[in-house]
Structure 1
């Protein structure tokens, strides 16, 4: 098993790139959900906007951000719906709020024309 060692400057650089790495993980996740934006610029713009929106709801950890952005994939604009807002503004942890928002958005998926929404 190969062991890696890092210098202090390398560790600092890695820490500074943490958000960028998280963002690229979101890009990968977004592509895997299907119907991805056609270009990198479109994907970058969409995820940058959604990343900022996640921060508005105090979702700072990557798992909560991913769940929130996945919910917006299923129900674009769901954060503006009263029931969606109720999930996002509850007094629970960010990950729990994001999970609830995702469950709600999947139930009320705007891409599904048979669910009556």
Structure 2
């Protein structure tokens, strides 16, 4: 797992956190190359990816055009806890093997965690 804090842009002083983890499936042949998961989190409204404060985007990728995930919009007092839980969840996934059939059946309902009733939408 790789965790990187980025800070750039002279005008807005944008900061964001990026986390990347390798994800393993029991049927890797169903994807184009290796699968991985990325998480990007930011607090500032003036961000390159959106106009909402306190946002966490988590996506599962392969080496082609497979990108599926959720964007979480936690309340300010929930942000740190939800970010912590999502990073822990990614770490757990990185150290295990995901059953592809279970993933297909649940990715839009329960595969991606629904923490503390945090508002979220599909990516």
TM-score after normalising by structure 1: 0.31
Which is bigger in relative contact order (C-alpha 8 A, separation at least 6)? Answer: 2
The structure in which a higher percent of residues are helix is 1
TM-score after normalising by structure 2: 0.30
Task: Say which one has the larger Rg.
Answer: 1
